[in-house]
Chains A and B, each alone.
Chain A
Amino acid sequence: MNKKILYILSIVVTFGLMSCDKYLDTTPDNRTVLDSDEKVKELLTSAYPEMTYGLFCYSMSDNVADRGEGNEVFRNNEQGYFWEEFTETLQDSPSGYWESCYNAIAHANQALEFIESTKVEGDIPFEYLPYYGEALLVRAYCHFMLVNLWGQHYNPATADTDLGVPYVTEVEDVVFKDYKRETVAKVYELVEKDLLEGLKHIEDNAYDVPKYHFNVAAANTFASRFYQYKGEWQKVKDYATAALGAHPSAKLRDLAGKYNLMGINEQAAEYSKATEPANLMLTSNITYNFSLFQGLLRYGLSHDIFSKVFDNVFVQGASSNAWTQSAVTVSNNLVVWKWGYFFKRMDVNADIGLYYAMTPKIVAEEALFNRIEANVMLKKYTEAEDDLNLYFEKRLAPFTDENKVTEEKITERFSKDSHAASDLDPWYDLDEKTRTYLNCAIHTRRREFAYNGLRWFDIRRFNIKVIHEVNESTPVVLEAKDARKVLQIPAMAQQYGLEANNR
Chain B
Amino acid sequence: MNGVIVITTKKGRTGKNSIRVSSEFTIKMKPNYGDYDIMNSQDQMAMFMEMEDKGWLDHAGMMRSKDAGVFYKMYNLINSYENGKFGLENTPEARAHFLRRYEKANTDWFDILFRNSLQQNHSISFSGGSEASKFYVSTSWLNDEGWTIADKVDRYTVNMRGDFEITEKLSVGLQTKGSIREQKTPGTFNRTNDVVSGNYSREFDINPFSYAMNTSRTITPYDENGNLEYVRMNYAPFNILEEYDNNQINLDVLDLSIQGNLDYKFNKYLNYNFTGSLRYVKSSNEHLIKEGSNVVAAYNAGVDDPVIADDNKYLWKDITLPNSRPISVLPNGGFYNKENNTMKNLYFRNMLNYNRIFDEIHSVNVMLGQELKYVDRQYDFSNGYGYQYNKGGVVFTDPNIIKATNESGFSYFGMEEFRDRFVAAFANAAYSYNGKYTLNGTVRVDGSNRLGKSKSARYLPTWNLSGKWNAKEEDFLTDVEWLSNLSFRGTYGLTASMGPANNASVVFRNRITTTPYDSEKQNAMYIASLENSELTWEKQYETNIGFDLGLFRRMSLSVDAYHRKGFDLIAYVRTSGVGGEGWKFANYADMISKGVEFSLGTQNIVSKDFNWNTNLTFAYNKNEITNLKNSPMIFDLVKAEGGAFKGGPVRGLYSIPFAGLDELGLPQFYDQEGNVTREVYFQDDAVDHLKYEGSIDPKITGGLSNNFKYKNWTLNVFCSYQFGNVIRLYPSFHASYSDMDAITKDMKNRWLLPGDEKYTNIPVIASKRLKDKYGSELESTYNAYNYSDQRVAKGDFIRLKEVSLEYKVPKDFLKKMGIASASLKAQGTNLYLLYSDKSLNGQDPEFFGTGGVALPVPKQFTFSLKLGF
Question: Which A residues form the contact surface with B (CB < 8 A)?
Answer: 1-2, 5, 9, 16, 20-21, 23-34, 39, 42-43, 45-46, 69-70, 72-73, 75, 87-90, 95, 98-99, 102-107, 109-110, 166, 168, 171-177, 179, 208-209, 211-212, 263, 265-266, 268-269, 273-274, 284, 340, 342-354, 356, 358, 490-493, 495-498
Interface contact A174-B510, CB-CB below 8 Å: no
State which residues 504-540 of B face A: CB under 8 Å: 506-511, 513-517, 519-528, 530-534
* Complex: A490 Cα to B575 Cα, angstroms: 11
14 A-B pairs in the complex with CB atoms less than 8 angstroms apart: A29-B418, A31-B528, A72-B775, A73-B777, A102-B578, A103-B527, A168-B580, A171-B506, A175-B534, A265-B322, A347-B203, A350-B192, A353-B313, A493-B578
* Complex: A87 Cα to B408 Cα, angstroms: 29
Report if B449 contacts A (CB, 8 A). yes
Interface contact A269-B322, CB-CB below 8 Å: yes
* Complex: A105 Cα to B195 Cα, angstroms: 23
Report if B675 contacts A (CB, 8 A). no
* Complex: A25 Cα to B777 Cα, angstroms: 52
* Complex: A168 Cα to B234 Cα, angstroms: 48
Contacts beyond the supplied A340-B322, A498-B576: 13 A-B pairs with Cβ under 8 Å: A5-B266, A26-B421, A33-B508, A42-B524, A46-B525, A46-B526, A73-B775, A102-B580, A106-B579, A266-B322, A269-B322, A273-B517, A349-B203
Residue from the set B517, B532, B684 with the largest chain A CB neighbour count within 10 Å = B517
Interface contact B508-A43, CB-CB below 8 Å: yes
Indicate whether A20 sits within 8 Å of B196 (C-beta atoms), given known contacts A27-B453, A490-B577. Answer: no
A79 shortest CB reach to chain B, Å? 11
Report if B417 contacts A (CB, 8 A). yes
* Chain A residue contacts of B534, Cβ below 8 A: 174-175
* Complex: A180 Cα to B53 Cα, angstroms: 60
* Chain B residue contacts of A107, Cβ below 8 A: 526-527, 580
B579 shortest CB reach to chain A, Å? 3
Interface contact B418-A349, CB-CB below 8 Å: no
* Chain B residue contacts of A90, Cβ below 8 A: 196, 683
Interface contact A358-B516, CB-CB below 8 Å: yes
Interface contact A28-B418, CB-CB below 8 Å: yes
Return the CB mask of B581-618 against A: 1 if under 8 Å, else 0: 11010111000000000000000000000000000000
B504 shortest CB reach to chain A, Å? 10
State which residues 201-254 of B face A: CB under 8 Å: 201, 203-204, 234
Residue from the set B313, B522, B629, B773 with the largest chain A CB neighbour count within 10 Å = B522
A245 shortest CB reach to chain B, Å? 23
State which residues 176-197 of B face A: CB under 8 Å: 189-190, 192-196
* Complex: A109 Cα to B579 Cα, angstroms: 10
Interface contact A168-B578, CB-CB below 8 Å: yes
Interface contact A171-B531, CB-CB below 8 Å: yes
Q: Which of A23, A104, A273 contacts B421 (CB 8 A)?
A: A23
Q: Which 5 A-B pairs have the closest CB atoms?
A: A106-B580, A172-B579, A265-B322, A496-B576, A45-B524
Return the CB mask of B404-431 against A: 1 if under 8 Å, else 0: 0101111000001111110101000000
Interface contact A45-B513, CB-CB below 8 Å: yes
A46 shortest CB reach to chain B, Å? 4
* Complex: A435 Cα to B47 Cα, angstroms: 67
Q: Which residue of B lies closest to A490 (CB)?
A: B577
Q: Which residue of A lies closest to B203 (CB)?
A: A349
* Complex: A45 Cα to B522 Cα, angstroms: 8
* Chain A residue contacts of B203, Cβ below 8 A: 347, 349-351
Report if B835 contacts A (CB, 8 A). no
Interface contact B508-A346, CB-CB below 8 Å: no
Interface contact B516-A342, CB-CB below 8 Å: yes
Q: Which of A99, A348, A351, A495 contacts B631 (CB 8 A)?
A: A495
Return the CB mask of B758-789 against A: 1 if under 8 Å, else 0: 00000000000000110111000000000000
State which residues 381-440 of B face A: CB under 8 Å: 383, 405, 407-410, 416-421, 423, 425
* Chain A residue contacts of B410, Cβ below 8 A: 345, 347-348
Indicate whether A346 sits within 8 Å of B450 (C-beta atoms), given known contacts A21-B455, A43-B508, A174-B533. Answer: no
* Chain A residue contacts of B449, Cβ below 8 A: 23-28
Indicate whether A174 sits within 8 Å of B776 (C-beta atoms), given known contacts A102-B577, A346-B192, A492-B577. Answer: no
Q: Which residue of B lies closest to A108 (CB)?
A: B580
